[in-house]
Structure 1
Amino acid sequence: MTTPTADLSAAGVSIWLDDLSRQRITTGNLQELIDTRDVVGVTTNPSIFQAAISAGIGYEEAISAQAAKGSDTDATIFALTTTDVRDACDIFRPLYDSTKGVDGRVSIEVSPDLAHDTEATIVEAKALYASVDRPNVLIKIPATKAGLPAITEVIAAGISVNVTLIFSLERYAEVIAAYLAGLARAHSADFDLSSIHSVASFFVSRVDTEVDNRLTAIGTDEALALKSKAGVANARLAYELFEQKFAEKNAQDLLALGGNIQRPLWASTGVKDPALPDTLYVTELVAPGTVNTMPEKTLQATFDHGVVTGDTITGNYADAHAAFDALAAVGVDLTDVTQVLEDEGVEKFIASWHDLQATVTTALTEASNGSR
């Protein structure tokens, strides 16, 4: 008997946990998920660190040490988060080695405040990479217009990148181009291309939430019949685009030099609508060479009752195109939808970052007062 998570892995999907905390690391919970739930990587973001550090468990001593050194808020956040990621990288190192760098990855994101600042993003990406100092770290850079040249620059420096907050097919094409441009430059600089990896994080459930709100407002039978179809269709068309772009000559030339494909990663896979199956964005997005990063609730639901039937993407391109055509026909402007989602995604991460700064500022003050 196999488990659904083992079946998912066998179908070519890498399961990454969309969560990290010092408590997960120190209690052995993270290792347990590797051993029992087929988890082969971790992603983090400002919201995840805000939840972990605001809970306080496991961070008191480290914050007190930072306070004693006179560290400010941002330096403390940098120290806390890079330590967690470094420790998680060490736990995943055997997987990184056994998969030749494909999995065993832990992602850490540049400050969301820098989402529209190319140069500052590049500087912080390099600083995070140097501080974590582990080959299996992925530096997360958002797929904003300012993020695109930063992706190229960081890849060109030989640093592996997780491109985050992708919503539209048009932006995804630009992300692939930015990655390939970075690989070409890395080759010119004599980097070993086989050591550079990247994933492109395509957000799923948020697309359904925004589109379904618009369909409800339209209110016709035709519109309501299209609810909960946009997110999966969008991701399936992203995989079609991935196949097309990496079959083109410039990509094939770089792969022949040792370069790696940039794997599609399905993010935002927790179901927002309770009427939907809780494994929808897992079982309907199965294809070789993909990553699905799941909140623990979605991971456990998949392990418990997910039904994995093999590839559910490549045979469904026609249906995905038809869903997009139908959405356009009832008046849903998908270009506007994805731009709204990108803007909101950046704003939400900035808000979480500022909440994290406030939490750490308070903790530093309390630690300083307590030591006097």
Structure 2
Amino acid sequence: MSERLKKLSEAGVSIWLDDLSRERIETGNLADLVKNSSVVGITSNPTIFAGALADGERYDEQVRRLAADGADVERTVFELTTTDVRDACDIMRPVWEATGGVDGRVSIEVTPDVAHDTEATVAQASELWAAVDRPNAYIKIPGTPEGLPAITETLAAGIDVNVTLIFGLDQYQGVMEAFVAGIEKARDNGHDISKLHSVASFFVSRVDTEIDKRLEAAGADKSLFGRAGVANARLAYKAFEEFFASDRWAALEAAGARRQRPLWASTGVKNPDYDDTMYVVRLVVDDTVNTMPEKTLEAVADHGEIAGDQVRPNYADAQATMDELAAAGIDYDDVIAVLIREGVEKFVKSWQELGETVRGSLEQAKA
């Protein structure tokens, strides 16, 4: 057991792996990460599945079977991904039971073609939930304007939700509002709200990538580079604390409801000049999740310096950083609008790549 990862867990951070493949499941690698690396959850996305399918032969038998049944690309993607998530849920089930449903989670995402269609998102979330058929699954729904009512309705149906593609503070406020509305509806629909869980995936490194690019173009002071992502996330946690201190939430909490935890996503460092553990060690605070690519997980295990709460004591510093960026000409609202739009575009591109990979596998199986 890595002492650094253990210390991170003890600080109240749930360590999730931002990767999933059939190879990890079948070789015992995933179970080993749970046992030895404090991993208590999994996130997946289309890029991850595309990589897994392209690199591994462990999907071939199921692809051949689906091809023989006449399955199209869409159905094949659905069957392959839900199978992996179901099997990963089974591996993570003891963690889910030990933590009362807080961790031991495996996330699967709705398709991007429904990102701007509320009703279709709700329908697909329900379809994925039924297909995986495991209580420790999370259905990922983008925090787009159309996604917000879908988050509410999906929670209202008693389905656990991982809200993804959150970049900005106003956007995050809307996500928390949608979450609470969903819990209230779930209660009114007769669901046991003490068993409903949700996380809000707040993206970190992409904020630095976009703002650093703008700072460089403006010839800004180098001291501002690489500071926005962490500052933005720290202010998101401040917003989280303030939101869940309301009387409205207190009434739900008294009925057993659980807060929607912030999840730090996009925590792999994009700029090689930056500390490869910065989006983990600088965002240590209790009641959060940090989902990491394996490379980042290994870096934290090897040399991550875990020094207690790095968020609450730094609220003023985070705000000062954002003020400095504004003074340097950074238009925060425009940055967030661009990141949300590009996030959905990348989401679409990843699904297209996954579809092409599956199409090739089906054609090969039929040859």
Report the TM-score when normalising by structure 2: 0.99
Do the aligned partners of 1:22 and 1:57 also contact (CA within 8 Å) in 2? no
Q: CA deviation at 1:57?
A: 2.6
- Is residue 140–residue 163 contact of structure 1 (8 Å, CA) maintained in 2? yes
- Amino acid in the other structure paired with 2:22: R
Question: Structure 2 matches for 1:107-146, cutoff 5 A?
Answer: 107-146=107-146
Q: How far apart, CA to CA, are the structure 1 residues paired with 2:338 and 2:84?
A: 32
Picking from 339, 342, 348, the partner of 2:340 is 342
1:319 aligns with: 317
Q: Is the 8 A contact 1:151 1:178 kept in 2?
A: yes
- Partners of 2:10 and 2:228 lie apart in 1 by 27
Per mean C-alpha deviation after superposition, the further-off stretch among 111-120 and 163-172 is 111-120
Aligned position for 1:163: 163
1:18-56 Cα shifts (integer Å, max 9, x gaps): 000000000000011111110000000111111111223
For 1:245, which of 216, 227, 243 is the aligned residue? 243
- Distance in 2 between residues matched to 1:213 and 1:363, nearest whole Å: 38
Rounded Cα–Cα distance in structure 2 between residues aligned with 1:205 and 1:57: 32
Residue-by-residue CA offset, 1:129-170 (whole Å, 9 max, x unaligned): 000000000000000000000000000000000000000000
Q: Using the alignment, how far apart are the partners of 1:187 and 1:124 within structure 2?
A: 22
1:209-358 alignment, distance < 5 Å:
209-221=209-221, 224-358=222-356
Q: Residue by residue, what CA displacement relative to the aligned partner does 1:177-223 show, whole Å, maximum 9, x if unpaired? A: 000000000000110001110000000000000000000111033xx
Q: Distance in 1 between matches of 2:251 and 2:274?
A: 42
Q: CA deviation at 1:251?
A: 1.1
SS state at 1:331 partner: coil
SS of the counterpart of 2:290? strand
* Distance in structure 2 (CA, Å) of the matches to 1:88 and 1:214: 40
Q: CA RMSD in A?
A: 0.9
Moved more, 205-214 or 54-63: 54-63
- Structure 1: which 5+ runs fail to align? none
Aligned-partner Cα distance in 2 for 1:301–1:91: 24
Query: 2: distance between equivalents of 1:158 and 1:3?
Result: 37
Q: Confirm or deny that 1:94 pairs with 2:94.
A: yes
* Residues 149, 178 of structure 1: 8 Å contact kept: yes
SS of 1:276's equivalent? coil
For 1:187, the equivalent position in structure 2 comes to 187
Q: 1:54-112 CA distances to partner (integer Å, 9 max, x unpaired)?
A: 22331000100000111110000000000000000000000000000000000000001
Verify the 8 A CA contact 2:204 2:266 in the aligned structure 1: yes
Aligned to 2:197: 197
Q: Give me the whole-angstrom Cα distance separating, in 2, the residues matched to 1:7 and 1:56.
A: 34
**Matches of 1:31 and 1:65, distance apart in 2:** 27
Aligned partner letter, 1:333:
D
Q: Deviations over 1:274-320 (max 9, x none)?
A: 11110000000000100000000000000111110010000000000
Which 10-residue stretch deviates more, 130-139 or 355-364? 355-364
* Partner Cα distance (1:151, 1:101) in 2: 19
Q: Which amino acid aligns with 1:98?
A: A
Q: Give the Cα separation in 2 of the matches to 1:10 and 1:366.
A: 48
- Counterpart of 1:122 in structure 2: which amino acid? V
Per the normalisation by structure 1, the TM-score is: 0.98
Q: How many residues align?
A: 367
> Structure 2: which amino acid aligns with 1:294?
M
Unaligned 5+ segments in structure 2 are: none
Structure 1 residue 252, shift from structure 2 partner: 1.2
Show the counterpart of 2:44.
44
Corresponding residue for residue 67 of structure 1: 67
Q: Which amino acid aligns with 1:65?
A: R
Q: Deviations over 1:217-257 (max 9, x none)?
A: 11033xx2211000000000000000000001111111111
